[in-house]
A = this chain, B = another copy of it.
């Protein structure tokens, strides 16, 4: 999809403006309509703020209708009937289109419990989550009172809207919606970057299977050419980086025992800030390693 310049949006007719932004908040063109009156916007952050201000200014029952316009997460019947293209893509990003039966049941159970308690669907910005963290979030939020959850739902709608806006509109400023996960390997045995080391990033799952979500090989700088995750929020969750250092040292004719003391090294860590920069390096010799949260 081609993106539109903010300046063009500022100059567009009301109808065109609304047509572009109507799904930034699910099924709610009225929000774009309200915001249009505040044009021109100096930047995309201002545009986002105007959309959010429209929601904040709405009557409670309108807010509630807005919340109710959202689909359930991982709901087979709703998916069959058709979601907005945006919702479908977002839910797939967290793997909600690849759920096992056990996982479907888990989601169905929490969706039901949530709807029963609050009378509206659980809303979460799924692109900021893994399956695991969505389920944990569900459980935490189920303990809240309704008022808190109305506020939380609108916060999540704001996050969803920010990500959709970022996809739609080009401006001089940026919405802070992306994170970055990177690594590098420093070979302290020779005092140089560890080049040519195979690296895997695994998303760990409590329920269901862990899965490899990125594979790379370190370059001459000991880094991967691309961030392991970049240009999107980092899904909250638990991860493992795996480095094949056994092969690396074997190829460099370092004298090693059989089997080598270190072979595949796993670094296990969690991401809690989807918009953060996480740098998780490996400092290594054939006999030692260390890691830390860098930035």
Point out residues on A near B: beta carbons under 8 Å.
Answer: 133, 136, 186, 188-193, 221, 236-238, 257-266, 268-270, 272-273, 283, 285-295
Contact = CB atoms under 8 A, between A and B. Distances in A.
Complex A-B, nearest 4 residue pairs according to Cβ-Cβ distance, in ascending order: A290-B290, A191-B287, A288-B292, A257-B272
A290 B288 contact: yes
A45 to B, nearest CB: 21
Contacts of A295: 192-193, 221
Contacts of A133: 259
Nearest to A133: B259
Contact of A265 (B188, B237, B268): B268
A257 B238 CA distance: 12
Interface centre among A191, A237, A260, A272 (most CB of B within 10 A): A191
A273 B190 CA distance: 15
Nearest to A285: B188
16 contacts: A188-B292, A188-B293, A190-B287, A191-B285, A191-B293, A192-B295, A193-B295, A238-B259, A257-B270, A257-B272, A260-B270, A260-B272, A263-B270, A265-B268, A283-B292, A288-B292
Nearest to A187: B287
Contacts of A291: 288-290
A283 B269 CA distance: 16
B266 A266 contact: yes
A107 to B, nearest CB: 20
Contacts of A260: 270, 272
Contact of A261 (B191, B237, B263, B290): B191
